[in-house]
Amino acid sequence: MKRFLLLLLVLTAVLPALAESNRGPRVTLNYHRADLPSVVKQLGKRMGCNVYVGPEVAGQVTLSVKDTPAEGVLKLVLDLQPKRFDYKLVGNTLVVASPERLGSIPADLLGPRR
């Protein structure tokens, strides 16, 4: 119950700021104990991206949002995990992994080869 109240408090504080951002597609979602990699993949697809989720990414998501930017929801979902995960857009691919793994991926990974 305490976790639920904390989540509700965080969402109440964060979602209005997320709604102000108009970058990318907006989503309406309702998850209850959903698998984190599955949620990330769904959000990435709604953002129009290819998606790579690192093998270390695991957890659950309980979230309900209405007409909110998909990238803001992705950031929120990752920020609320007990273990730290982050994301990076590499070309048209959304990469979600630990910060250490993301740091080792060059921004031009999918660029032209020489």
In angstroms, how far is CA 98 from the centroid of its own chain?
Answer: 12
pLDDT digits (tens, 9 = 90+) for 11-28: 555 555 444 445 689 999
Q: Around Cβ 72, how many Cβ atoms within 10 Å?
A: 22
Number of helices (H), then strands (E), belonging to the chain: the values are 4, 5
pLDDT digits (tens, 9 = 90+) for 84-94: 999 999 889 99
Which fold, 2-103? Phage tail protein beta-alpha-beta fold (3.55.50)
69: phi then psi, degrees, rounded to nearest 5: -55, 130
Q: Please, which contacts does 4-12 make with residues 24 or more away whose CB atoms are closer than 8 Å?
A: 7/62, 7/80, 10/80, 11/63, 11/76
Report d(CA 82, CA 88) in Å as an integer.
Answer: 19
Q: What is the pTM of this model?
A: 0.74
Strand positions, DSSP E, 46-100: 50-53, 60-69, 86-90, 93-97
Domain residue extents for the chain: 2-103
Q: What is the pLDDT of residue 87?
A: 96
Q: What is the pLDDT of residue 106?
A: 75
pLDDT digits (tens, 9 = 90+) for 40-95: 999 999 999 999 999 999 999 999 999 999 999 999 999 999 999 999 998 899 99
Cβ 85 vs Cβ 37: under 8 Å: no
DSSP annotation of 82 reads: S
